[in-house]
Every structure is written in C-alpha cells, then in structure tokens.
Amino acid sequence: MSQDKKLVIINNEKISENESLFYCDNIDLKSIPEGLDKKLNICVIARKSNIKRFHQIKLKKIKLLGNIFSFLLSIFKTFSNNDTNYLLISITPYTFFAYLLLFLFRKKTFIYLRSNGYEEYKEILGFFGPAIYHLMYIVVTFKSHIIVCQKRLTKHKKYDLVFPSELDSNWLENRQEPSLDKPRLLYVGRIKVEKGVFSLTKIFNEISDDAELSIAGKQENSIKSKKNINFLGLETNISKLIKIYDNHNITVLPSFTEAHPKALDESLARLRPVIIFNEISHVADDRYGVFVSNRDINSFSKTINFIIKNYENIKNDMKKNNLPTKQEFISEITKILN
C-alpha cells in the first residue's frame, strides 16, 4: 500500500497540544495512527483538550477542534481529495454526525468498534442509554465497513475481526518471579464508574489487611479507601509499567463492560493471573490464567486464595497462551483498510 493513499482517522477522544506536540489518554489513539502511518498518509481529526494528556502521539497531521461545527467543517475540508478513506473509531455523538456527513458525500468509511456501546451507554445514561446507542449504531453501520475486536460487538454478519495489542518482545522477556507472601493485587486502567474500580475498592475494603491493592491509572475521580490501597498514577513508560506488573502477583479487571482489554494480555504476558467478574466472562476466551469471580467479598476472596495456593501450576499453564502482538494487530488492520 502506498503512502500516497490518504486515511483520515476520526475520533471522539480529546487530544491536547503543547509546543506543537500532541498528547492523548487512550493508548489506541496513539498506537493505531502511528502504526498505520508507516503504510498510509494519516491525518487525525479529534476534539481539543485544554488539559494536558499523557501519551505523546508521534504524528504531525492532527487537527484539533473545539466544537461539533468546527469538527464537521474540518472533515468537509478533506473532501477535495477523492482518494481518501475514513476510519471512525467507536460510535459516539461526534462520530455519528461525522458519518452522516461522510454518507451524504458518498465517502468510503470504516468503523472500528472496540467496546460494547450498549453496555457503556447503560452504565452512563441508564435506561435510555442502550436505545440511544442502538439508533446511532444502525445509522453508522449502514454503509460502513465494520471492524471489531470482539464478535459480540456487531449484529452484522459481515465484519472483520482484529485483536488489538500493545505487546512486543519487551513484554515476553526477563519475566520476574512474584512474591507470594501475601496477595498483591493490581488494577491498571481509568478510574471511571463503568470500569468497575469503585465496585472493586468497595469489596477490597472488606478484605483483611494481609492483602494489598495498587491502582495504576489517571485519578479522575476520588476513591474512599483504607491504607492497603495504593495509587500509583498513570504510567506511560513501558519498562516501568512492566515492572509494576512484576511487583504484583494478581491483576484484577473489574469492568462492567469490555471487549478486548489490553491489560489482560499484558498481565498474562508477565505470567500474572487475572481475576475478572462474571459481567465480562466472555473476554477469557481460551486464555489460561483468567479466573471469573462473582462481584462479592466471599467469591472474590475464594478466587484470590485459590490462585495463591496453586500459583506454580497456573503459571505453567499461562506459558501456553498464544497472545496477540502489536505488530500483528497493525498488520491486520492495514490489510483490511487496503
């Protein structure tokens, strides 16, 4: 594929700019454009953030807009080149109106679904959330080429399945043996209601003091907790993030909704078992080392105790996992866009 082929990536996520450098919070908005930029002429259109974000996006063609009207106008200005395709990431109000504009002008559009919008909108908006998302889903997927990271994200029979990953050789080398003197639990992700972290800390506050929980993520909301919960902040350096996983013996993924959580594969790459709750039991697939718990203190404690007592056998099983890599993911999505 020639780099003369243009691809405009349209996303609802906010990006900040500082001294002509661009930053985002969601790692997808960094890794996907940077990966595709090796084969395509990439331009990113996103919302402007006045708050400094964390992951630097190593691209120059990024347009940041403050409102929906300037957002759509920026997309319209790209129509002068007929040899341009468009990739929408997730279905949101911004990408919904972007699709209407693209459809009106008969532009080639791809939609990448990376999470379950029905479940997310229910958590955020309540009873009417899924209905609102369903309306946007029907419209946006009408003439778009659909790409998903989990089969259950689409009701269409025709779609392409990809396996997002940030794993490279660094994640699979120099694995450290964990300390098993007590449960040392880790959560990596955003501190938001739909991510289940508030539910997790509520359960953990009932656990005895011989266990620890560390939270590695941007602290957007305050959490009431006791002394054995540690806040590590958001870590963007891969070597340091790997060390964080290595310093713990169990990773917890408490989300109410997930499609293909990268933290799960990152933990398994470091041979650290993962506990998930039954709302997202589907993400386990055929992976070794993933344990499903009920969202209550008794089930959660039993799962932790089982893992600690059987750690060596579980670790040997995890070595059988065939985990996706970042290079494979970028190759898959590049091939689809071709």
Amino acid at 27: I
**Residue found by looking up tokens 């395709």 in the block:** 85
Look over the chain and give the mean of its residue pLDDT values, rounded to a whole number. 90
Each residue's pLDDT tens digit, 204-216: 888 876 899 999 9
Reported as type and span, the H/E element at residue 110 is strand 109-113
- Tell me whether residue 248 is in a domain: yes
> Do 72 and 214 fall into the same domain?
no
Other C-beta atoms lying within 10 Å of the C-beta of residue 97: 16
3-state helix, strand, coil in the chain (%, to 5): 40, 20, 40
Paired sense of beta strands 41-48 and 6-18, if any? parallel
> Do 220 and 98 fall into the same domain?
no
From the centroid of its chain, how far is CA 287? 18
Q: Using only the alpha carbons of the chain, give its radius of gyration.
A: 21
> Do 229 and 176 fall into the same domain?
yes
Supply the pLDDT for residue 326.
Answer: 93
DSSP state of 267: H
Supply the pLDDT for residue 3.
Answer: 58
Q: Identify the domain containing residue 176 by its residue range.
A: 169-318
- Tell me whether residue 202 is in a domain: yes
* 230 three-state secondary structure: strand
- String of DSSP letters for 4-56: TSEEEEEEEEEEEEETTEEEESSTHHHHHHHHHTTTSEEEEEEEE-SS--SEE
CA distance 59 to 79: 21
* 275 three-state secondary structure: strand
- Tell me whether residue 1 is in a domain: no
- pLDDT bracket for residue 222 (50, 70, 90): low
- pLDDT bracket for residue 124 (50, 70, 90): confident
> How many folded domains does the chain comprise?
2
- pLDDT bracket for residue 1 (50, 70, 90): very low
Closest to 250 measured CA to CA, from 230, 269, 271: 271
Q: Is residue 84 a contact partner of residue 8, using CB atoms and an 8 Å limit?
A: yes
Task: Indicate which CATH number applies to the domain containing 58.
Answer: 3.40.50.2000
* 152 three-state secondary structure: helix
Each residue's pLDDT tens digit, 31-57: 999 999 988 999 999 999 998 888 899
> Do 223 and 284 fall into the same domain?
yes
> Do 161 and 177 fall into the same domain?
no
Cβ within 8 Å of residue 244, ≥6 positions away: 186, 188, 214, 216, 232, 235
CA distance 119 to 137: 13
- Tell me whether residue 260 is in a domain: yes
Q: Is residue 262 a contact partner of residue 166, using CB atoms and an 8 Å limit?
A: yes
Q: Is residue 187 a contact partner of residue 252, using CB atoms and an 8 Å limit?
A: yes
> Which token pair is 286?
């055929």
Supply the pLDDT for residue 4.
Answer: 64
Each residue's pLDDT tens digit, 249-304: 999 999 988 878 889 999 999 999 999 999 999 888 889 999 999 999 999 999 99
